[in-house]
Amino acid sequence: MRKDIILIVLVLIAVVSISGCINSPIDNINNRMKDLNTDITEGDNDYNAAISSINSRDYASGNNNIQIAKEKFNDAETKLSEIEDYQDDLNESVYREYIDLIKEEVSLKKQASDELYLAIQYYANNDAYSGNSYAQSANNLMKKAVILQGERNQLVEENSEIFKKAGII
């Protein structure tokens, strides 16, 4: 009787793992990575739209766009936290490097968005001097983030088979 129960439990575990109900750490990371990349891309688009609005002196639209960008970068940071829960189980150093790069990139983009938000507030209140100071800070932070994004893209290009297999590219 006891052997039958143990056998049934082993069969159930095998069926569940084969059916995909138990994901490996890399599966969990890959599932979140796609959404993470979408959040970053959408955040970038909204950040750029905010810049365009500022250049057109449409501060209301710029404010709206930068708020959305900030939300997307916050969402990306949340997904990164979820990914980090599985990072220690990774055997692939390329994934670790990728995650480290994207983590720093998102952090810089969040900071740039915060600075740009403040710039918009000052511009809207006719304080161009302070607005320019915050806008310059945002620009410098975003330049650093774009460099990291380039490094991340280069890593993907150099290891395309790993990332294709994962469905990230």
Residue 11 lies in a domain: no
Residue 38 lies in a domain: yes
Residues ≥6 apart with Cβ < 8 Å to 2: none
Residue pLDDT, tens place only, 37-62: 999 999 999 999 999 999 999 999 99
Question: Binning pLDDT at 50, 70 and 90, where does residue 95 land?
Answer: confident
- Quick one: what percent of the chain has pLDDT higher than 90? 60
Domain count, the chain: 1
The answer to whether 116 and 47 are in contact (CB under 8 A) is: yes
**Smallest Cα–Cα separation from 51: which of 127, 107, 109?**
109
Residue 4 lies in a domain: no
pTM of the model: 0.81
User: What whole-number distance in Å separates Cα of residue 40 and Cα of residue 111?
Assistant: 14
**Residue 88 reports pLDDT greater than 90:** no
Residue 75 lies in a domain: yes
13-17, 79-83, 88-92, 93-97 — most confident range = 79-83
pLDDT of residue 89: 63
Q: Is 54 exposed, middle or buried (0-12, 13-18, 19+ CB in 10 A)?
A: buried
Residue 14 lies in a domain: no
**Residue 12 reports pLDDT greater than 70:** no
User: What whole-number distance in Å separates Cα of residue 46 and Cα of residue 113?
Assistant: 10
The stretch 13-42 carries a mean pLDDT of 71
Amino acid at 53: S
pLDDT of residue 161: 85
Residue 21 lies in a domain: no
Domain residues for the domain of 77 are 26-166
